[in-house]
Amino acid sequence: MPVEFPITAVASSLSPDLRQSALAARTLGLDGVLVDVADPASAIVHLSDTGQREVRQIFASRNLLLAGLDVALPARAFRPESDIDQVLSFCRSALNACRGLGAKVLCLDVGQLPVPPAPPAPTPPRISPEQAGLIIIPSPADIKPLEAPQQQPPQRQPEFEASTESAMRELCTHADRLGVVLALRSQLSSLQSLAAILHRLDCPWFGVDLDPVGILEDDWLLDDVFDHLGTLIRHVRGRDAIGGTQRRTQPALIGRGDTNWPALLANLQAADYRGGICLDPRSTPDSAAAIRHALDYFKPYRQPSR
C-alpha cells in the first residue's frame, strides 16, 4: 500500500506575494503552502481578524491547505544573555496567527540548544579471584580502543539549560491554550540535543520538524532518528543533498541526493505520521523546476488532489 502524503511548498519559494504563491501552488499541483515568516515585523503575524479571514479565503478559494507558519528564531534565542521575553512575545504572536489562520502547525527553528547530558561511563567488569591469577594477553580488538584518543564530553551549561527549559515550558502552555502544534528543529544543534529537551519537557504540543538534510549532517543515522524521535515527528521537509566529508553537504534535487527516501517514507508510515511533506527548494537555482521534479518523484506517494 503506498503512503499518501499531501505535498506542500514554502511560500517564498513560489513568490514573495502570498496571493501569487497560492496561485503558483495551484498551478503546479501542490496541495498547499507553508508560509515562512521572515522576521517579527512580518505582516502575516500581525493581521487583524479581517486580514486573517482574507488569507483564509485566498487558500479556500483555490482548495489549498495553509499547512502552517515557518519561523526561524535568532541563533542565541534562549541563551541567558538574550532578550528571551522578546523572543517569547514573537513566538506567542506566531502561535496566535496560526490559530487565527486555521493553521495547525508552527514550524520553529529554535537556534542553539544546550548539549545533552553525557551517557554514564560503562561499569568496568568484575575480576574474579581465578582471573586475577591469570596473565591475560589482550587481543588487537581490545588494544585498539585504548589507543584511540579520549574525547572529552562537552561541558554542560546549567544556566543555558534552565533558560531554555523555562522558555519552552511557557511556549508549551501557550500552544496548549490555542491547540497549535510546535514542530521544532535546530540548524545549530544536534538531533540528540533536540531529542533530549523534547523528552525532558514531555509536552504533548511539541514535536519535530524533520529535515532529511539535517540527518545527513548529523551523527545520528536514520534508524537512530526514528528510534528516538519517530513518534514525535509532526512535520517533514522536502529537501535533499549530497553528503561529503565531515558532514558537509551540497544541495541536490529530491531523489538525486543521499537521502534514502523509500526508507524514510516507510519509517514515517510505520511511525503513523499523519502530516505532509513540505518542499523547500530555496537552496536550488530554480525553485519551480525543483518543485516539479519533486512532485514527479513523489507521484507514487501523493495524496489524491482534494
144-176 pLDDT, tens digit per residue, is 555 555 556 667 789 999 999 999 999 999 999
SS3 content of the chain, % helix, strand, coil (to 5): 45, 15, 40
Task: Give the contacts of 176 (CB within 8 A, at least 6 positions apart).
Answer: 203, 204, 205
Cross-strand pairs, 250: 242
Predicted TM-score of the model (pTM) = 0.85
Spatial separation of the C-alpha atoms in residues 190 and 210, rounded to whole Å: 12
**What is the fold, at CATH topology level, of the domain defined by 7-116+157-301?**
TIM Barrel (3.20.20)
Average pLDDT (48-56) is: 96
184-214 pLDDT, tens digit per residue, is 999 999 999 999 999 999 999 999 999 999 9
The neighbour count for residue 62, using CB atoms within 10 Å, is 15
pLDDT at 301: 76
